[in-house]
Amino acid sequence: MKIVVRVELITDWGDTNTIEVGRIDRPSETLDSESVGLSLADGKQLLHNLQQAVIPAQADEICALRRICRRCHR
């Protein structure tokens, strides 16, 4: 079984960006009751990759909003 985790980032302006944050390959013949689900290491890696995708996107969003004057909206 292959598991692909993607995050879709959608700005307030409707721009969409899809980023793959993880790929887990678990061959069916290696699955047993103890290996079902994600390991702690898998979860930590996915969270790390998610942060690597989200933080720059949020920083870009903040920078874009700071360029707009709150009074005249230019």
Q: What is the pLDDT of residue 30?
A: 79
Assess if residue 73 is contained within a domain: no
Place of tokens 């292959």: 2
Assess if residue 37 is contained within a domain: yes
Look at the chain and report how many structural domains it folds into.
1
Q: What is the pLDDT of residue 23?
A: 94
The string of DSSP letters for 35-49 reads SSS--HHHHHHHHHH
Q: What is the pTM of this model?
A: 0.75
* Three-class secondary structure of residue 71 per DSSP: coil
Assess if residue 22 is contained within a domain: yes
Do the Cβ atoms of 26 and 37 come closer than 8 Å?
A: no
Q: What is the pLDDT of residue 27?
A: 80
Assess if residue 72 is contained within a domain: no
Average pLDDT over every residue of 68-74: 79
The residue range of the domain holding 36 is 2-66
State how far the alpha carbon of 47 is from the alpha carbons of 33, 43, 50, 53, in Å.
24, 6, 5, 10
Partners of residue 7 on adjacent β-strands = 19
- Tell me the pLDDT tens digit for each residue of 6-65: 999 998 888 999 999 999 888 888 778 777 888 899 999 999 999 999 999 999 888 887
